[in-house]
Amino acid sequence: MSGEMSAPLRLMAQDAEDLAVVSAALQDAVIKVGDIQYEPKARRLTIALNRYRWEGGQSQRVRAALQFAGVEAVQARRVRMRAKDAVLALLSIGFEPEDAPGGTVSLVFAGGGDIRVRVECVEAVLADVSQPWSTPRTPNHDA
């Protein structure tokens, strides 16, 4: 392992293109259902996750947080929100515009589940919140 550490990732998304960059950074992130918190009064959705560091060049994960602001509603489909210890593998994040600049952000998980987040506009922040650690498993997309 080399002595150089890459800086923690910090991304902000304000449109569908930005969200595509966040989606790429979060591909294969793992999320415990209990780490998904929706605060309706604050109109905020916060998700703590373990992000695979594709940019690191080594097999590493890092604890990160993804937060959406201006959230109007959250719907889970085929995700058991009461199973707090269940682990979800994030495949992608997309945006379907509706009443511009608003629309629906879709977080799509392995196994067919998704979480749909209705937002007044795209306003998301992704930030690494820990030091990276080595992982023996590199995500595999050949299967």
Kindly report, residue by residue over 48-75, the tens digit of the pLDDT.
999 999 888 889 999 999 999 999 999 9
Question: Could you tell me the two tokens for 49?
Answer: 């996750």
| Overall size of the chain counted in residues | 143
Residue-wise pLDDT tens digits, 103-132: 999 999 999 999 999 999 999 999 999 999
Please answer whether residues 143 and 133 qualify as being in contact, where contact means their C-beta atoms are separated by less than 8 angstroms: no
pLDDT at 33: 97
For residue 35, give every residue at least 6 positions away whose Cβ sits within 8 Å of its Cβ, in sequence order, or none.
Answer: 47, 48, 49
